[in-house]
DNA sequence: TTAATAGTGTCTGTGAGACAGTATTGG
DNA sequence: CCAATACTGTCTCACAGACACTATTAA
């Protein structure tokens, strides 16, 4: 029997439970976010963070975890599998103010995903399900210039995602590597730092800190090199040492 | 018409939404947490973090905010009004793994409250509603010695609360002041730091940092003194400058 | 050689840790 | 005076910011 054909009755009213997934990557030295264009009301036609309602069961099987729901909804709306690339995932915050969704009380648990781009090209995405379109946007442009109309309180969620990144980037050494190619050069990692902070980072001071992380065994040199258009000395390649990055 | 006499039917199954409030204070140089003894199954007789289900309405009124629900549930279970003392409140994390509650799918948004104790005496608490008893416990003893059986995943929640505090205490100057009397002495604030970190802090280095915060205008000297049993030079009193503590 | 990119060395200031010293009270 | 508590000064080291320098490649 299809559980979605029956109705579900409770003693007390319950809110809807949603999850949203803020997917970020660094592309051409800019922090970019994956948004979908809503195909249904409310906020039809507005851009939104991909997400949707958590699948819950009433019986002994209690359904999917919140993180799994966020991954699934992203896949359904953008055809992008965030788990495939070994992306970094963390819970961001839970938004539950009364009135944030005109349809009724909706609590949304927001997640943050950081994408490793293998070549510098963003993953191909396309709309699906409730999403008419899916596209990458510059996070800073969306937040600072506000030319985009975002659905619900999604501007607030994006602002918190950027704050979280800025707050952690300097204290969690391995974090930036989740937004860099694998393996990465020192400069590629620096570009990630610059994209997040929105300010240029001194090459030499960054290199100094980078060397400390090498000494501490967080990163290690590895084979390979980058082919660059304008020539110049080829960079060394590095990768994160597995299970050596605390927190991250 | 009493909304709690009617039943509530939805197209898709919905989880229950709960809030939990981790209430912390520093008493006799120890970090203490307020727990309640459960009066009903599941986990009847076990100690738990005060909390309960969020009141939601189906109509246009969408009910109370998550934070308000946490404050209300705390009041109902312990007769303690966390807003009265101007306590610091922040969202901690949302726990929603399937199976964390045997009754069915329950998502719980945990909040963290930091209490200013005016005199060093903890607020009087007593059981109420679903709670048979309410009592203060040493957080470190509960977490490290594990002699207490905690309901649900509440040990995990407490562990995260301690981690959050330890992570923020050194980078958010005004945070410790939320756990100190008002006004406070330099030593009282240092004791808060020691309770959180679980390690003694050098008096002189702490004083150095304290002076910097004074220079930066985060704290200010004020009138008053402390009467101490064993005599000695009386300490100066300080307080937080309102709206000068970023993040708080 | 030049241009371009990669990587190192040096100076300076700030703040943490360790620890010795001074100040102000009661008895 | 002494004991007890409150507060200050000094030395060292680690690290960030600024900036000058050397290294390795392609054309």
Please identify which of the residues B64, B67, B90, B133 carries the catalytic annotation.
B133
Q: Give the B window 13-52 contacts with A, CB below 8 Å.
A: 13-17
Q: What are phi and psi of A95, to 5 degrees?
A: -105, 120
- pLDDT, one tens digit per residue, over B32-42 is 999 999 999 99
Q: Would you say residue A1 has pLDDT above 60?
A: no
Tens of pLDDT, residue by residue over A172-206, are 999 999 999 989 999 999 999 999 999 999 999 99
Check B62 against A11: CB less than 8 A apart. no
As beta bridge partners, residue B27 has B30
- Stretch among A200-209, B92-101, B118-127 having the lowest mean pLDDT: B118-127
Contact yes or no for B176/B186 (Cβ under 8 A): no
Q: Are A201 and A194 in contact (CB under 8 A)?
A: yes
CA A180 remoteness from chain centre: 13
Least confident stretch, A131-145, B90-104, B182-196, B227-241: B227-241
Q: Tell me which residues from 180 to 209 on chain A have a beta carbon below 7 angstroms from nucleic acid strand D.
A: 202-205, 208-209
Cβ neighbours of A65 in B, within 8 Å: 96-98
What is the percent of chain A where pLDDT is above 70? 95
A199 CA to centre of own chain: 21
Q: What angle do CA A31, A37, A42 make, to 5 degrees?
A: 125
Instruction: State whether B14 and A8 contact (CB < 8 Å).
Output: yes
Mean pLDDT of the A14-25 span: 97
CB B139 within 8 A of CB B31: yes
CB proximity list for A63: less than 8 A, separation 6 or greater:
A54, A55, A56, A57, B13, B15, B98, B105
For residue range B223-242, list pLDDT tens digits in order: 888 877 667 889 999 999 98
The per-residue pLDDT for B155 is 98
Question: Is it the case that residue B91 has pLDDT exceeding 50?
Answer: yes
The angle formed by the CA atoms of residues B33, B109 and A196, to the nearest 5 degrees, is 105
Give dist(CA A55, CA B51) in Å, integer.
24
Reported as a pLDDT band with limits 50, 70 and 90, residue B122 is confident
Q: Is A188 a catalytic residue?
A: no
Select from B145, B140, B181, B137 the least CA-distant residue to B163.
B140
Q: What average pLDDT does the structure give for chain B?
A: 91
Interface-testing mutation among B20, B96, B103, with chain A (most A C-beta atoms within 10 A): B96
Q: What is chain A's alpha carbon radius of gyration, rounded to the nearest angstrom?
A: 20
CA dihedral B55, B59, B62, B64 (to 10 degrees): -30
For residue A118, the model assigns a pLDDT of: 80
Structure tokens at B148: 């207490």
Q: Which residues contact A153 (CB under 8 A, 6 or more apart)?
A: A95, A97, A100
**Whole-number Å distance between alpha carbons of B246 and B50:** 29
Task: With beta carbons less than 8 A apart as the criterion, state whether B35 and B134 touch.
Answer: yes
């Amino acid at each position: 029997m299809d559980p979605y054909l029956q109705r579900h009755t409770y003693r007390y009213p319950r809110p809807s439970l949603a999850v949203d997934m803020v997917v970020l990557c660094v592309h051409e030295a800019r922090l970019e976010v994956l948004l979908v264009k809503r195909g249904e009301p409310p906020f039809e036609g507005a851009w939104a963070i991909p997400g949707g309602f958590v699948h819950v069961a009433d019986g002994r099987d209690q359904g999917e975890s919140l993180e799994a729901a966020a991954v699934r909804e992203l896949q359904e709306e953008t055809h992008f599998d965030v788990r495939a690339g070994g992306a970094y995932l963390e819970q961001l915050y839970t938004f539950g103010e009364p009135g944030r969704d005109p349809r009724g009380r909706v609590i949304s648990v927001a997640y943050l995903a950081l994408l490793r781009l293998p070549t510098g090209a963003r993953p191909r995405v396309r709309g699906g399900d409730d999403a008419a379109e899916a596209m990458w946007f510059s996070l800073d442009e969306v937040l600072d210039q506000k030319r985009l109309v975002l659905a619900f309180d999604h501007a607030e969620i994006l602002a918190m995602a950027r704050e979280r990144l800025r707050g952690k980037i300097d204290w969690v050494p391995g974090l930036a590597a989740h937004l860099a190619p694998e393996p990465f050069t020192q400069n590629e990692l620096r570009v990630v730092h610059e994209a997040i902070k929105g300010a240029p980072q001194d090459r030499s001071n960054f290199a100094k800190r980078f060397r400390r992380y090498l000494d501490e065994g967080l990163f290690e040199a590895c084979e390979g090199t980058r082919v660059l258009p304008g020539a110049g000395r080829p960079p060394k390649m590095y990768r994160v040492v597995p299970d050596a990055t605390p927190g991250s």
